[in-house]
Amino acid sequence: MGQTESVRRLLALYCQLLDDSRYDDWSQLFTPDAVWILGVREYRGRPAIKAYMDQLRRERPDWRTQHKCTNLVIDLDGPTGRVTSDLAFLSRTGEEPWRVTSLGRYHDQIVQRADAPGWQFAERRLVNL
């Protein structure tokens, strides 16, 4: 698999694992000291990032999500890179119809580390559109 395809895989796994509530696997997509920024909220380090998602699941057990990322722009420079992608975020509670909850753009700094397979997020910043 080429480098660009590996980055596309990272973004697809982010969406699928998050939507499937597989937070242990999902959190491994971030470096141990990663920063995840959602508008004005900021989470530093893999444990804090995962804890936020665990808390959301406890607070909203019937809430379901679908993350749709498109329009990827991938710029790689050796073991580092920058990626931007557009997000359409859909959600529903219980059997309610799906609705578009927000639209945004991710600005990512990614890295390949010798102690981890594939690419990981060093910083993932979501800006709502």
Q: How far apart are CA 97 and CA 69, in angstroms?
A: 20
Boundaries of domain holding 76? 3-128
Mean pLDDT of the chain: 95
Both tokens of 110, joined, read 């990614």
Into how many domains does the chain fold? Answer: 1
**CATH for 27:** 3.10.450.50
What residues contact residue 99 under an 8 Å CB cut-off, 6+ apart? 90, 91, 92
Cβ 89 vs Cβ 70: under 8 Å? no
Pair 112, 7: CB distance under 8 Å: no
User: Burial of 83 by CB count in 10 Å (0-12 exposed, 13-18 middle, 19+ buried)?
Assistant: buried
Tens of pLDDT, residues 57-105: 999 999 999 999 999 999 999 999 999 999 999 999 999 999 999 999 9
Q: How confident is the model at residue 129 (pLDDT cuts 50, 70, 90)?
A: low
